[in-house]
Structure formats: structure tokens, C-alpha cells
Chain A
Amino acid sequence: MATVEIDRLVKRYGQTTVVHGIDLSIQDGEFVVLVGPSGCGKSTTLRMIAGLEEISGGEIRIDGRVVNDLQPRDRNIAMVFQNYAIYPHMSVADNIAFGLYRSKLSKSEKRQRVEQAAETLGLSQLLDRRPSALSGGQRQRVAIGRAMVRDPAAFLFDEPLSNLDAQLRTQMRIEIKRLHHRLGTTSVFVTHDQVEAMTMADRIVVMRDGRILQVGTPLELYENPVDIFTARFIGSPTMNLLPASLKNGGADLTLGGSVQVPPAAATSADILVGARPQDLVPSSPGVPGLTVSGTVAVVETLGSETLVHIESAGQTIIGSAPGRQIPQIGEHLTLHAPAERLYYFDKATEKALAAR
């Protein structure tokens, strides 16, 4: 267990810079998730922590020790890869034992550790099998087992679940979370799936184009996105953004109607008003807030709730209705979100206006 500190970390490939001096401080035992769109530098950052990629600038410290020039094997970290990277020519037991390759434990102690890890991961029955005779989920468990036996300072995960089907992914998500709870090992987890990020992270780090946009707990990011990118990235379905222009204290929506804007947010002429689909529900506009109406175009019945896509002045807006209240397609529908659930962004800078 250890802290991981990243200081002005830079990665350049020749002329192109792919990580632009990021700072991040990860506490002992914390589960941090790096999210962001493809190519934003998540893997590169993780691989620099692991020592698989040279650092072009800045500093990485693991447990207070600068590791910039240390070989991966001297950093005492363990990594789980997207493609599992378990060796096809070795049995499950040998694969897990590989995590102890450099350990000075006796043979029987090693065996005991392997069996313990296998037990934890439900692999006890499979120790003699070859990886080719395992399912995807089992293979990923073997990879986690290999990382576990060593008792490393930190676990690094690079999209470990993206090769699994949806159901298995949910299951493994929970298992990894449970494992983290038990072992308490500092973990850095890379994904581009916001649901994984939300459900697993103690803190989420949102990255874009080699920079960190925002760091915070899942709820902080959900409630207080610093800009449009994070706002749209966190939460599903994506937040609705409606263009509006400020006029004497209120904002006139381009698609008709107006909303009250808090004075702190009234600093720019052209703004975007954000409303999450979960907050935009069919109800009468008794309280102040955002009211939009339009024709129902698509209805997604999820059981627990119903997502309603309405068309209004050429823009599609997603709202939600209770599970048993299913609007008809073509029906005229009015959706309402209370003022305290709205978000405001500067249209030009895309930054959030006023913390909520």
C-alpha cells in the first residue's frame, strides 16, 4: 500500500506531446479511476506510473520515492491488462505464481499464496487448467490473481473489463470493488466507460487531450462539472444543453420560453442551460425552472423509468417519465426541471458558470 504522486508529468513522442504536465496526488488505499475519450492519454499515464513508458518530464513518486528511473520490476506495482496477458503455455497456477517470480518466499509459501489468491477469486478448481480452457471472466480473474499474490504497493488496471460482455462486466466490477475493499491496496483504474468510473471510483480523474479537466468524487463530478465536456461525459443519458441568451436577469431559450438565471451565472450573453434527463420530468410547471414542450419522437422503456425523446424547434431533448407512465409517440408532452437542478455554461468558453 502506498501513495502515488504525479508532478507536472509530461509525455512526448518525438514532436507531439500527448500528456501535458499533469498533477495528481493519490492517497494510500484510494481507488482512482482515469476516464476520458479514446486517445486522451489515460493508458500513457498509467504506463508511465508502471514504468513501461519513459517519462519525458515531471516526476512520479510511489510511497514518497521518486521512481522516474526505476525499472517496472523495482516499482513494486502490479498491472492488469485489457487482454489479460496471461501466458497460454502455462497452467492457471503457474500463471498466478508468476506474480511471485522475484519473491524470496519458499516454494511452499508461494504455493500457499497462490492457493489463497485462487480461493479468493473462485479459481481453486481451475488451477491445473490451461488459459485456453477458461472463459473470458475466468482469464481476467487469473490476471487479477497474478497481480494479487505479490501484495504490491499499487494495482494498475488498464481497461480490464472491456473485453467482457455486459453482464460479466457488471459482475467483475463488483468483484474488483469488493477485493479493493478487502485488500485496501491503492488502485489506479483506466476506463472510458463512465458507468465503471462512477460505480468504482473513490475519485474520478477526467482527462481530455492529455490534460486533467477535473478531479473529484463521482457525486462531485455529477453535481458540479467544471465544463461542458465533463457535464456530458458523466451521467447517462447525456445531459441536455439548451442554448439561451441573457436578457435583463432571465435567459430566453432559443427554442422558446425562458428561465431564471442566478446572478452569479449571469456573466455572459450567450449561455447553455443544462438539464439532466433524470431531472426533466413530465409535470406541471408549478415551481420555477425549465419548461420545454414538444412532440414525443422516441420512447425507451427501461422498466424502472422511461426515457422520452421529444422534438422541439428542431432540437431533441431527453427527459424521463416513471416506469409505468409511458407516453405515446407523436403525443405532445411538456417536461419540467426545477431551477435548483439546472446547470449553466458559457457558450464560448464551455466553462461552468457559478458553482452550484
Chain B
Amino acid sequence: MKAAASSQGLAMPHIRPGRILAWTLLFIGGVVMVTPLLFMLSTSLKDASQVYDLRVIPEAPTLDNYIEILGDGRFTRWLINSTIVAVIVTLSNVFFDSLVGYTLAKFRFRGRYVVFIAILSTLMIPTEMLVLPWYLMASQFGWLDSYWGIMFPGMMTAFGTFLMKQFFEGVPDDFLEAARIDGLNEFTIWWKIAMPLVTPALSALAIFTFLGNWTAFFWPLIVTTSAELYTLPVGLSSFAVEQSIQWEKIMTGASIATLPTLIIFLFLQRYIVRGVMLAGLKG
């Protein structure tokens, strides 16, 4: 392996065939991923008559769609709804997942193992199967068509709890015991000592939860009926069924909706990559 690489190196220093293959694959992957996004952006810059003209660079680019969409009260309402839902669910997960994860990781009590297995086993049930019980529950408690109705299934997740438990297990007991001797109560030990020690995991959890809820479509669609409570993805899809399908409006809305995701990725790239590695996730 080494010898082959160095004899190649005579002709083309530093470039190995494996590398070229990897780059090619990555490039193809990149193109496949980016093309729809480009089309989304380009369509959002066209007027209705140009939509089926499939050129990537619009002939007569216009910001009219953006002006119209942002001026449309419904859209801003949905933007606000999505923000409220994603932020509250994220905060709730960061708080409760780590509280439960910490308890499972650091306290010995009867039934600890059973609780952990019970939480883990919910990971094996697909969301599609849960939607019906959720809906029945929401309807019986009168939560349909409300913020709480959209949020309650995600306020805590088994995955987040599991992730945080794994991380808290890596926090040495000495830290907690030293704090116990210094006189902190158990809640403060968790909040002031343990939590700061797992910030990488917390930021990964927060990012994943936020993105997941920002783009959530299926459940919000089912649980909401009034347009004022739609989240952004649900609202955008409702454009599609008004009179005629207004692709340029949908794409404009989608472009705006992508913005927070993009910003999060750009600024928190480092944490996301680390989070993915930590969580052992793919993509």
C-alpha cells in the first residue's frame, strides 16, 4: 500500500487513486443534493409565467414573490408558529432529556434498569404507529388544533434521553462528589456541574431537535385544522392546494424556511459534525 502510493507519488505528488474516487463520489453526491436547492432558489426568483421554463438562471429575476410572501400575514404567522414550536420543544428536550439521562446515569435506585429499557424500547416503535394514539389522546384531552397539541409528542424523546445518559456516564463521579461535599444540592450539582461538562452533547441534541421540529410536517398537519396554527411546512403545502398550484410562491416560502437551517449549519458546523460523530448517527 505504502510502496504503491509512493511510486504513484513520483508522477502526481500527494494524489492517490483512492482520493480521486472519493472526491468524485463526494462531488456527485454534492450535485445531487444541491440541485433541488438551486431549483428552489431559482424558481423563487421567477414570476408565474416563467415557472416551467427550467433554466437555472432566471431570465428576468424578480423579488416580487418575496415581497408578496413576506407581506402576507399568514406566512409570518406560520414562521412565528414554527419558531415557537421548535424553540419550546428544543428547550424542553435539553432540559428533560438530560435530567432523566443524568438520573439514569448517576443514581442507583430500584427499577432503574427497567425504566431505561422501557425508554429505549419506545425507539423501536415507528412514528407512523404512534400517530393514531397521539391523535386520540389529543382529541380526548382537547388538545387538537393547539400549540400544545403540536408540541406534546416531542417534549421529551427516548433518543435524547439515551444520548444524554451515555454522556453523563462519562462524567467522573469525583466531580459530583466534590460538589456534594462543598454543599450543593442534587439539582444544583446537575445544573451547575454536570450540565456544563456535557455541552457538546447538549448542543448536538439542541441542533437535532430544533431542525427536526422546524421541518416537521406529518404530525402538525394532522393535529392542526385552523390556518393560524399551521407551522411553516404545513402552511407552505397549503399553498399547493389553493386555486392553482403556485410553485413560485411555494419555492419562495421554502427558501425562506431553509434560511434558519442554513444559518444553523454555517455557524454550528463544528458542533454538528461532532454531534453526529458522538451520537453515532449517519447523516
Are A52 and B180 interface neighbours, CB within 8 A? yes
Q: Which residues does chain B contribute within 8 Å of A72, judged by CB atoms?
A: 177, 180-181
Q: Which residues does chain A contribute within 8 Å of B183, judged by CB atoms?
A: 73, 101-102
Q: For residue B181, which residue of chain A has the nearest CB?
A: A72
Are B182 and A89 interface neighbours, CB within 8 A? no
Q: For residue B188, which residue of chain A has the nearest CB?
A: A101
Q: Which residues does chain A contribute within 8 Å of B179, judged by CB atoms?
A: 98
Distance in Å from the Cβ of A50 to the closest Cβ of chain B?
A: 6
Are A73 and B180 interface neighbours, CB within 8 A? yes
Distance in Å from the Cβ of B46 to the closest Cβ of chain A?
A: 51
Are A77 and B181 interface neighbours, CB within 8 A? yes
Q: Does A229 have its Cβ within 8 Å of any Cβ on chain B?
A: no
Q: Which residues does chain A contribute within 8 Å of B196, judged by CB atoms?
A: 87, 89
Q: For residue A97, which residue of chain B has the nearest CB?
A: B182
Q: Does B184 have its Cβ within 8 Å of any Cβ on chain A?
A: yes
Q: Which residues does chain A contribute within 8 Å of B177, judged by CB atoms?
A: 50, 52, 72, 79, 81, 85
Q: Which residues does chain B contribute within 8 Å of A303, judged by CB atoms?
A: none
Given contacts A72-B180, A72-B181, contact A89 B197 (CB under 8 A): yes
Are B182 and A50 interface neighbours, CB within 8 A? no
Are B193 and A87 interface neighbours, CB within 8 A? yes
Interface residues on A, range: 20 to 34
Q: Which residues does chain A contribute within 8 Å of B193, judged by CB atoms?
A: 87
Q: Does A78 have its Cβ within 8 Å of any Cβ on chain B?
A: yes
How far is it, in angstroms, between the C-alpha of A146 and the C-alpha of B182 when the chains are bound?
9
Q: Does A294 have its Cβ within 8 Å of any Cβ on chain B?
A: no
How far is it, in angstroms, between the C-alpha of A120 and the C-alpha of B58 when the chains are bound?
73
Distance in Å from the Cβ of B196 to the closest Cβ of chain A?
A: 4
Are A85 and B182 interface neighbours, CB within 8 A? no
How far is it, in angstroms, between the C-alpha of A73 and the C-alpha of B186 when the chains are bound?
11
Are A102 and B182 interface neighbours, CB within 8 A? yes
Interface residues in B140-175 by Cβ distance below 8 A to A read: 172, 174-175
How far is it, in angstroms, between the C-alpha of A72 and the C-alpha of B180 when the chains are bound?
6
User: Which of B174, B181, B197 lies in contact with A73, CB distance below 8 A?
Assistant: B181
Are A85 and B184 interface neighbours, CB within 8 A? no
Chain B contributes a number of interface residues (CB within 8 A of A) equal to: 14
Distance in Å from the Cβ of B208 to the closest Cβ of chain A?
A: 23
Interface residues in A81-121 by Cβ distance below 8 A to B read: 81-89, 98-99, 101-102
Distance in Å from the Cβ of A320 to the closest Cβ of chain B?
A: 41
How far is it, in angstroms, between the C-alpha of A101 and the C-alpha of B179 when the chains are bound?
9
Interface residues in B181-216 by Cβ distance below 8 A to A read: 181-184, 193, 196-197
Q: For residue A98, which residue of chain B has the nearest CB?
A: B182
Q: Which residues does chain B contribute within 8 Å of A99, judged by CB atoms?
A: 182
Are A81 and B178 interface neighbours, CB within 8 A? yes
Distance in Å from the Cβ of A327 to the closest Cβ of chain B?
A: 48
Q: For residue B178, which residue of chain A has the nearest CB?
A: A85
Q: For residue A89, which residue of chain B has the nearest CB?
A: B196
Q: Which residues does chain A contribute within 8 Å of B175, judged by CB atoms?
A: 85, 87
How far is it, in angstroms, between the C-alpha of A72 and the C-alpha of B181 when the chains are bound?
5
Are B174 and A50 interface neighbours, CB within 8 A? no
User: Which of A77, A85, A98 lies in contact with B172, CB distance below 8 A?
Assistant: A85
Distance in Å from the Cβ of B187 to the closest Cβ of chain A?
A: 14
Are B174 and A83 interface neighbours, CB within 8 A? yes
Q: Which residues does chain A contribute within 8 Å of B182, judged by CB atoms?
A: 73, 98-99, 101-102, 146, 150
How far is it, in angstroms, between the C-alpha of A78 and the C-alpha of B179 when the chains are bound?
10
Q: Which residues does chain A contribute within 8 Å of B180, judged by CB atoms?
A: 52, 71-73
How far is it, in angstroms, between the C-alpha of A89 and the C-alpha of B193 when the chains are bound?
8
Interface residues in A41-98 by Cβ distance below 8 A to B read: 50-52, 71-73, 77-79, 81-89, 98
Q: For residue A52, which residue of chain B has the nearest CB?
A: B177
Given contacts A85-B172, A101-B183, contact A79 B178 (CB under 8 A): yes
Are B197 and A101 interface neighbours, CB within 8 A? no
7 new A-B contacts, CB < 8 A, other than A82-B174, A89-B197, A143-B178, are A73-B180, A78-B181, A79-B178, A81-B178, A85-B177, A87-B193, A101-B183
A→B interface (CB under 8 Å): 50-52, 71-73, 77-79, 81-89, 98-99, 101-102, 143, 146, 150
B→A interface (CB under 8 Å): 172, 174-175, 177-184, 193, 196-197
Q: Please provide the 10 A-B residue pairs with the shortest distance between their CB atoms, ordered closest to farther.
A: A102-B183, A73-B183, A85-B174, A85-B178, A89-B196, A81-B174, A72-B181, A101-B182, A72-B180, A101-B183
Q: What are 23 A-B pairs at a CB distance below 8 A?
A: A50-B177, A52-B177, A71-B180, A73-B180, A73-B181, A73-B182, A73-B184, A78-B181, A82-B174, A85-B174, A85-B175, A85-B178, A87-B193, A87-B196, A88-B197, A98-B179, A98-B182, A99-B182, A101-B182, A101-B184, A102-B182, A143-B178, A146-B182
